[in-house]
Amino acid sequence: MGNMPNVSSISITSPGEAANWAQRTNQTISWDYTGDPGETAIIELMQNDSVFTTIADSTANVSVGSNGSGSYTCPVPAVPEGNYKIRVTSVESSVYSATSPEFTITNPLAFIAPMASNAWCIGTTNNITWTHGDADIGSAVKLELLKNSSLVGDPAITSTQAGSNGTGSYAWTLPLTLEPGIDYQIRASSVDYPTIIATSANFTVTGNYTCSGNTLLGYNGPVSSLNSQGGNTGAVVVPIALGQTINGNIDTSDYFYDRGAFGIWQDEY
């Protein structure tokens, strides 16, 4: 009776089924093998049974391992969020090839502020804050302002530091040109890895005034928003002086608001 043939195989032990790996976090791909698979391995990221990208090609000299097991630690590629598989193949003997169960690559970037409960007033300064965990998302993030899911012409800022210790923040002064609304969002994306992107919850932008008809009832904000164009036909209006701050209720016979203009009746000035 002849000798039984050696059974040669390779199987991936990590990522396992239903694993969630965030983009640009360091993760370990590991495998077991029997027989003699050779010296080096190729590692590929698969989607829908096709190669999406190569994590380590033959020039990377990734060791197959020793004593029946091998591993390779690397940043998760900054690919779009979705379901993927890992394939490990021996360079010297392609019969040694295995594909992992399907796992999910997720986005590490998320907003702390603004939240859905936030109402930020035009002209005030508020902190846009985000977290990215232990992912290396690059040195900078791009921040953009959205309204009704469309980009507002003047973004919050083109780019700012990504942050440290997993969080970042930017002090943003809401432009005086913004219209009040309940459907604003902030979008953040990595400058180095544009597929790492997140959008905040809808938040509210409020006006820095209260009014009834053409009468200004209260104002709480920078005077630089004032101009000399009155809203009442035939009215003579003097702009409130630059540098002046108005708080609380205003005498309705003195001030008025219309079409973005804040002013004082000339006979009251």
With a CB cutoff of 8 Å and minimum separation 6, the contacts of 251 are none
CATH of span 110-206:
2.60.40.770
Q: SS3 for 85-141, per residue?
A: EEEEEECCCCCCEEECCCEEEECCCEEEECCCCCEEECCCEEEEEEECCCCCCCCEE
Question: Structure pTM?
Answer: 0.72
Rg of the chain on CA atoms, in Å? 30
pLDDT tens, N- to C-terminus, the chain (269 residues): 444 444 568 999 999 988 999 999 999 999 999 999 999 999 999 999 999 999 999 999 999 999 999 999 999 999 999 999 999 999 999 889 999 999 999 999 999 999 998 988 777 789 999 999 999 999 999 999 999 999 987 555 778 999 989 999 999 988 877 888 899 999 999 999 999 999 999 999 877 655 444 444 455 554 433 333 334 333 334 444 434 444 444 443 444 444 444 444 333 33
Closest CA to 209 of 170, 243, 179: 179
CATH 2.60.40.770 maps onto the chain at 110-206
- 176 DSSP 8-state letter: T
Strand, coil or helix: 68: coil
Token pair 């391992």 is found at 65
CATH 2.60.40.10 maps onto the chain at 9-106
Q: What is the pLDDT of residue 156?
A: 59
CATH topology of domain 9-106: Immunoglobulin-like (2.60.40)
